Amino acid sequence: MCFSSSGKQDIPIHSKNNLQSSTRVTDDSDSLLLPGLPEDVAKYCLALVPRSNFPAMGAVCKKWRSYIQSKEFIMERKLAGLLEEWLYVLTADAGGKENHWEVLDCLGQKNHLLPPMPGPLKVGFGVVVLNGKLLVMAGYSVANGFASASADVYQYDSCLNRWSKLADMNVARYDFACAEVNGMVYAVGGCGIDGDSLSSVEVYNPDSNKWTLIESLRRPRWGCFAFGLNGKLYVLGGRSNFTIGNSKFVDVYNPERHSWCEIKNGCVMVTAHAVLGKELFCMEWKNQRKLAIFNPEDNSWKMVPVPLTGSSNIGFRFGILDGKLLLFSLLGEPDYNTLLYDPNAAPGSEWQTSAIKPSGLCLCCVTIKA
């Protein structure tokens, strides 16, 4: 596809009148995505462009840039069957001092590196995917020996390959749980500026770019994680002030009723988690040779053994691609393959190996469809 605006270069601009004529033509052209085509046809044409060309499209004009950032553009590509899944992996070097986001396609080929995240280097932050964009929220940084909690929120637009600043959260926090539910982002619990555990909960509305505090948890909770399923928010793991050790309670928030309830059969000290289909997949620190799978329909758990890959003590981080669960080794050695679990495969053939592998230690991984 040609990204130039046809015809503009043929308009003479040697006189004042011609200059005004040129301005009128430019303005008229900018009012349409593709001059000469109905808007619905133009939108479909732009949706056919491969994802790797999105940054170039965004540089053509404001009209194109606004369109490819919209929910409508993602829906148009979905209807056309052209959504591409890319893995966004936060990786660390061998010493753990430097990290960066890298992008892997469905074949495991490294597409590109993301621009560095804005702000100081932080840990304990939250990561969520919302409307095809990556949100990195809060966390804390250390400067001159002092730790400082943050309320900053940054968004990476995968279509334009750039970061932007969103509205700050109401409460600075780190080691908190976060998840997307029904197009909204929730931040739950964690630790605050003074290090005390939090029970506060807030929700982000992307349409208004605003965080709003909602009903708090029944107890403070930190080091936990969250996920959304069936229109509800689930918070598991971590610790609370009312438990010795780790909490097994599951806090469940119903956005329609604006209320919390709890389930008593959760999991503790989770080192990795991911939602695949209508189930939650977890790996607990105490048993990293089995997948713990939670079905929210009946609040039941089942355990699936993880095959050996050369070591009985290996740990993993999770990724999701094409309806399958990827288990990235934390050892980062060449001899270890990425494991792949297909929950829809025939019994006995659920486990395979995959060539998809980050360039360094996987700290976290999300999938963005666009």
In the chain the domains, ranked by start, together with CATH numbers, are 18-79 (no CATH), 84-111+271-370 (no CATH), 117-268 (2.120.10.80)
> pLDDT tens-digit profile of 262-279?
988 888 788 899 999 999
The more confident residue out of 297 and 95 is: 297
State the residue for tokens 């593709």. Answer: 34
Report the chain's terminal Cα–Cα distance, integer Å. 18
Structure tokens of 6? 């046809």
Is there a contact between 326 and 354 (Cβ–Cβ < 8 Å)? yes
State the residue for tokens 């003074």. Answer: 194
> Which pLDDT value is given to residue 313?
61
> Which pLDDT value is given to residue 168?
98
pLDDT band with cut points at 50, 70 and 90 for residue 215: very high
**% of the chain at pLDDT higher than 90:** 57
> pLDDT tens-digit profile of 63-80?
999 999 888 999 999 999
Rounded CA-CA distance 177/217 in Å is 12
> Which pLDDT value is given to residue 15?
35
The candidate with the shortest Cα–Cα distance to 289, out of 266, 274, 310, is: 310
Dihedral sign from CA coordinates of 286, 288, 289, 290: positive
Going by C-beta distance under 8 Å and a sequence separation of 6 or more, which residues neighbour residue 65? 57, 58, 59, 160
Phi-psi region of 273 (alpha: psi -120 to 50; beta: other; left: phi over 0): beta
SS3 6: coil
Identity at 213, one-letter amino acid code: L
Q: What is the β-pairing status of strands 250-254 and 259-263? A: antiparallel
Rounded CA-CA distance 192/124 in Å is 11
Angle at 351 between CA 280 and CA 358, to 5 degrees: 75
> Which pLDDT value is given to residue 266?
80
Identity at 342, one-letter amino acid code: D
118-128 average pLDDT score? 92
Dihedral sign from CA coordinates of 193, 98, 308, 85: positive
**% of the chain at pLDDT higher than 70:** 87
